Amino acid sequence: MKSARSSRGLRRRNRVFPPGRISRSTVDCTWADGPRSPAERMGRSRRRTLLAGYINDAANQQQRFFATTQDMHAAIAVKSRVLKAFNDHHDYYKEIRRTTHQKISEPAAL
């Protein structure tokens, strides 16, 4: 029979946190697969979820200060622009890494 302590630890490690409410220690410890940053270990979709969570939290905190619905829609537009920039940035660097690796690994055409 498993001890209560070990099963409690497993439960904690496998728990999915709601976006924007994540404990740093859990992110750092959960995917211990090599000397990469926690953000890299998480993978793209999880990073995007976290980012969306942080932006949503910020927007929700601001919501009570919006004077008009127009202001609120402006903030939502900013949120979507930030998410798009994040995704484009990620795709751009992924593409550079892929093509750079290709060029290095292929023999030079003389």
pLDDT digits (tens, 9 = 90+) for 62-110: 555 555 667 767 777 777 777 777 777 777 767 766 666 555 555 555 5
To the nearest 10°, report the CA torsion of 69, 74, 77, 79.
Answer: -100
Task: Give residue 64's domain range.
Answer: 14-105
Of residues 60 and 11, more confidently modeled: 60
Residue 8 lies in a domain: no
Residue 25 lies in a domain: yes
Cβ(86)–Cβ(51) below 8 Å: yes
Residue 1 lies in a domain: no
Is the pTM here over 0.75, yes or no? Answer: no
Q: How much is the pLDDT for 79?
A: 75
Q: How many residues does the chain have?
A: 110
* Number of domains, the chain: 1
